[in-house]
Amino acid sequence: MEKETSLSDLYNLCDDFLKKVIEEMNESCIEKRQGIATPEHLMASMLNQPQFSKTVERYCSNMQAFVSELSEYITSQETLPEDVETHCVYSHQLLSLLQMTLYTCKAAGTSVIKVSHLVYAMYELEDSLLAYLLKQYITDKVDFLRAVIDLSSSSTGSETAAKSDAPTTSSSERAILCDDDFLKTQTPIVGREKELELLTQILCRRDTHNALLVGEIGVGKSTIVHELARRLNSGILPERFEAGKLYKLNLKSLLEGVHLRGDLERRMSDTLGSLSNQGNVVIYIEEMQLLFSAFSKQAEELDMVSLLKPYLDWSNVRFIGSCTPKDYTKNFSDQKRFEKYFQKVEIEEPSVEDSIRILQSVLPKYEEFHGVRYEAEAIDYAVRATSKHLHGSFLLHKAIALLDDAGAYLVSHYGKDIASKKVDKILVSNLLAKLCKNESLLVEGDGEERLATLESRILSKIYGQDAAVRLIVENIQMSKAGLLDDGKPLASFLFVGPTGVGKTEVANVLAKELGVELVRFDMSEYVEQYTVSKLIGSPAGYVGYDEGGLLTEAIRKNPNCVLLLDEIEKAHDSIYNILLQVMDYARLTDNKGNHADFRNVVLIMTSNAGAQYASRASIGFGSTVSAGETMIKQVKKTFKPEFLNRLTASVVFNDMDKTMAERVLNKKIGILQERLSARNVSLVLSEEARAYLLEKGFSREYGAREMDRAIATRLKPLLTKEILFGRLKNGGVASVSIENDNLVLL
């Protein structure tokens, strides 16, 4: 439930007219020694304002009776004795009225509470004499409320109209003229000749001479319209547009304060009528779906086309609208009457080359604003890197945002010393790496060197799987070099091998060394077919539809990551339909039509398929079948060819051997020693103790997990009691050896 706003905050949100009314009400209550203020007291104070009183009188069937009953009620309220100090306290009904007024204000899309919001709320007040009197004496509620709205907007009815930051409601300010002064503040265009030619051609038609630009946010829909305005002002368009002007509809001003049926139609008619009298005009409606939604809220049968129709057929008036593909599908795609009058024009994301040229033309404004210089290499890198690594937004917007951020970074870090600073490729890459949570994007420190040493860094933490690690790194390096398909994930691996040999650990280490997040899904949780739908979201009408898909949301949040699907063979077969789409197109669509981009994802799936047969491979005389070949043969029986055919590689992990077990033991003892050092405890193992743990922890069947169990059940219990209650409580040396075939603490 929404938290109630305090009285002081409510007062501060009121316009000057209401502040004056409230102050006079408080003074009147104290003067009359009535300690409790009611909605009726507030109305009495409002009637003391001449313009409001005249408005009420115009629509009141019996003004004298209305005022008389109101005064009689106020007089009947209890008064305080002369010797008691009087304070004005608001009644529960008055507090409720003020809160309802705030909600009405918010619903109207404004930030300033006006008298129209208050009067509207008065009608909704339950068990109130004031609401009863209004309904009894005001003959036409709708016309009365409209008059109060006009009173709120007029300078005679409220001083706020002259002082408020909100736009006025005059028709001349509901449309912005795109003249040369306005266009100087807008981003210039580079390219887009094809779209401009098509747009001009549509506007020159006899019929269907209106256009709807459909494109994602940030691709340049408004920029195209502004370029059309430049050409219109320069007189280089066909003679049909001679002396023409382009106006941009100010939807904020148009929709502000609209909450009564008929208000929007009246405002639109006034605005369009005024513009249509100015000769050849082109009217641009940005985010046209907002206007469509506003009409729908006014009344279900209200049709935007019906309102625009008187102007749609005029030879001197043209309309250009814009919206996103999603909004087009939701609001316009099935509107046949709309399609009759508006031609759809799809606006695609600008190319990398066009984006670079546009940036070069607009960056002088950013250089002047931040007081820095942008290097050409930084511009080129920003466009190409954001195109590849930043998903969910589009060129040119995301490249400009990154370079703007780079300028802001220098301003915030160098202040007055900024004159000598410049935005270079290193700074841009550092900011992009933080934004993408991907340290491999760092240019500083030589990103190529980081990639070159990736294999050695992983092998320093993973033991006995050299061939597997080498295969993984080679494929990732090929992808980074651009030798693999761009429209696919960075790599798609299937890790196969016995349990406990490091498949999951390799994924974890790879993510850390690449400097990206590890996103893990335990596929044993998706055994049933209905559970697989959780990954892309439940269908409409089912529980969880509004939550989106677990997998798609995870990738949208971390588009640069290592995605680990653990024990993939345990999931339901329908999971492979999802994975085929990911491995083929690096794209997955959720239940709401939103896309998750996998182009910067390393996809790793683990499986134990064939592991039980691997140990049998070398049994028998003259056997030439390796364990790896045996596992691959079983993998082909377990997974379908179309799945295996889309993998970058199937990576076979070796069984645990003695050498690997020794290195694993040393690593895990080292981790334990780090934890003990926090307690000021040093761990010393005798050679016999190490050999004992190695013997108990070595298992081809269970791999390194058996080593964890040996340490957890045989070594850690010795240390626990001594650390908590014994001689190691304040630190010391824990020497472990063997007695009677058991570990002991010396």
Q: What digits encode the pLDDT tens for the residues 690-712? A: 888 888 887 776 766 778 888 88
Span of 156-165, 360-369, 491-500 with lowest mean pLDDT = 156-165
Topology of domain 7-163, per CATH? Double Clp-N motif (1.10.1780)
Scan for tokens 């990206």, then name that residue: 516
CB atoms within 10 A of CB 541: 6
Residue in 482, 355, 372 with CA at minimum distance from that of residue 427: 372
pLDDT of amino acid 519: 92
Q: What digits encode the pLDDT tens for the residues 503-541? A: 888 899 888 888 888 999 999 999 888 888 888 887 766
Query: How large a percentage of the chain has pLDDT more than 70?
Result: 86
Mean pLDDT over 670-690 rounds to 87
Count of CA atoms in the C-beta half-sphere (13 A) of 692: 18
Mean pLDDT over 724-736 rounds to 85
Q: Strand ranges (DSSP E) for 65-209?
A: 89-90, 175-177
pLDDT of amino acid 585: 87
pLDDT of amino acid 605: 92
Q: What digits encode the pLDDT tens for the residues 203-237? A: 888 888 899 999 888 788 888 898 888 888 887 77
Run of H or E including 321: strand 317-323
Mean pLDDT over 433-447 rounds to 62
Rounded to 10 deg, the angle between the 92-107 and 115-124 helix axes is 120
DSSP annotation of 443: -
Span of 170-174, 450-454, 550-554 with lowest mean pLDDT = 170-174
pLDDT at 621 over 60: no
pLDDT at 581 over 50: yes
pLDDT of amino acid 563: 94
pLDDT of amino acid 438: 66
Domain residues of the chain, as ranges? Answer: 7-163, 171-346, 352-436, 450-652, 658-745
pLDDT at 155 over 70: no
CATH of 450-652, one of 3.40.190.10, 3.40.50.720, 3.60.15.10, 3.40.50.300: 3.40.50.300
Q: How many residues does the chain have?
A: 746
Q: pLDDT category, 565, cuts 50, 70, 90?
A: very high
pLDDT at 328 over 90: no
- The first and second tokens of residue 232, run together, are 């219109």
CB atoms within 10 A of CB 371: 14
Topology of domain 352-436, per CATH? Helicase, Ruva Protein; domain 3 (1.10.8)
Q: What digits encode the pLDDT tens for the residues 641-669? A: 899 998 888 888 887 778 778 888 888 88
Q: pLDDT category, 613, cuts 50, 70, 90?
A: low
601 SS3 class: strand
- The first and second tokens of residue 400, run together, are 């400009």
Q: pLDDT category, 168, cuts 50, 70, 90?
A: very low
Backbone angles phi, psi at 54, to 5 degrees: -65, -35
Whole-number Å distance between alpha carbons of 41 and 25 = 6
Q: Whole-number mean pLDDT of the chain?
A: 80
Whole-number Å distance between alpha carbons of 519 and 521 = 7
- Are 7-163 and 450-652 equal in CATH topology? no
pLDDT of amino acid 540: 63
Q: What digits encode the pLDDT tens for the residues 235-270? A: 777 777 776 888 888 877 777 766 555 667 777 777
pTM of the model: 0.56
Ordered DSSP codes for 503-522: HHHHHHHHHHHHT-EEEEEE
Whole-number Å distance between alpha carbons of 746 and 727 = 11
Query: How large a percentage of the chain has pLDDT more than 90?
Result: 5
Span of 18-22, 275-279, 609-613 with lowest mean pLDDT = 609-613
pLDDT at 434 over 90: no
Count of CA atoms in the C-beta half-sphere (13 A) of 690: 16
pLDDT at 681 over 70: yes
Span of 266-280, 682-696, 707-721 with lowest mean pLDDT = 266-280
Angstrom CA distances, 163 to 166, 172, 364, 714, stand at 9, 18, 36, 79
Pairing of strands 245-249, 175-177: antiparallel
Contact 692, 718 (CB under 8 A): no
pLDDT at 169 over 60: no
pLDDT of amino acid 258: 60
Q: Using CA atoms in the order 455, 461, 462, 468, what is the torsion angle rounded to 10 degrees?
A: -10
Q: pLDDT category, 320, cuts 50, 70, 90?
A: very high
Mean pLDDT over 327-343 rounds to 80
pLDDT at 157 over 60: no
pLDDT at 116 over 90: no
Map 93-115 to HEC letters: HHHHHHHHHHHHHHHCCCCCECH
Topology of domain 658-745, per CATH? Helicase, Ruva Protein; domain 3 (1.10.8)
What is the second-level CATH architecture of the domain 171-346?
3-Layer(aba) Sandwich (3.40)
pLDDT of amino acid 593: 75
